[in-house]
Structure 1
Amino acid sequence: MFKGLGNLGDMAGMMKKAKEMQQQMADLQEKMDAMTVVGESGAGLVKATSTVKGQLTALEIDPSIFNPDEKEVVEDLILAAIKDAQAKAADRAQSEMAQITDGLGLPADFKMPF
């Protein structure tokens, strides 16, 4: 396009790609509010539901584990389910971001600043 200007000729194309990526990121951020993952522990006795952004939205506990003598076990299962949900949320968010950055030629392990 602009011969003799070196890489500046690609600047308009780069700006267009950046604008498209910005819109894709805004759309993805909105979609991530609605995407959910479910973390489990105790073979499904405790389930924690989280948005992909990591906000806990639900906690389901099978009543069979409510034994007063095993309070610590129940607490551990709840924490494990929440941590599992958070890990799955982070993985899903990274996967969704990777779909956007793939087209830009960025490294596979590139972390977005948000």
Structure 2
Amino acid sequence: MFGDMMGMMNKLKETQKKVEETKERLNHVLVDEQSSDGKVKVTLTANRAIKSIAIDDELLQDKEMLEDYLILTLNNAIEKATGVNETELAAVAKDGMPNIPGLDMFK
């Protein structure tokens, strides 16, 4: 029993390290999104840090329309980046979880 507990603890520590490595790697995974007409383009990391924003000159004439474009495009990009982030971290966590009966967290 004690040996199993030590093995589980070691596996949890190893998994924690892999999760941290994955978080660091996700700083370099880029997610691109653009408005439906391509007038606003944004790039985020999978950790949801904005890397770049490109705005068509036409939108610079209408502040309100530009704000609407930015909100929609950034929200879509954040949603996409969050999906990548959660999928990657869940995969690492699932692979590293010890087999504890009755604890099926990642089905």
TM-score computed with the length of structure 1 as normaliser = 0.75
**Which moves more between the two structures, 36-45 or 95-104?**
36-45
d(CA) in 1 for partners of 2:106, 2:72: 29
d(CA) in 1 for partners of 2:47, 2:76: 14
| Paired letter, 2:59 | F
After superposing on structure 2, the runs of 4+ consecutive aligned residues of structure 1 that deviate more than 2 Å are 65-68
d(CA) in 2 for partners of 1:26, 1:54: 16
Percent of aligned positions that are identical: 29
Q: How many residues align?
A: 101
Greater relative contact order structure (CA < 8 Å, 6+ sep): 2
RMSD over equivalenced CA pairs, Å: 2.0
Unmatched runs of 5 consecutive residues or more in structure 1: 1-6, 110-114
How far off its partner does 1:17 sit?
Answer: 0.7
Larger Cα Rg: Structure 1 or Structure 2? 1
List aligned pairs for 1:88-107, cutoff 5 A.
Answer: 88-103=80-95, 104=97, 106-107=104-105
Q: Please state whether the residue corresponding to 1:38 is helix, strand or coil.
A: strand
TM-score computed with the length of structure 2 as normaliser = 0.80
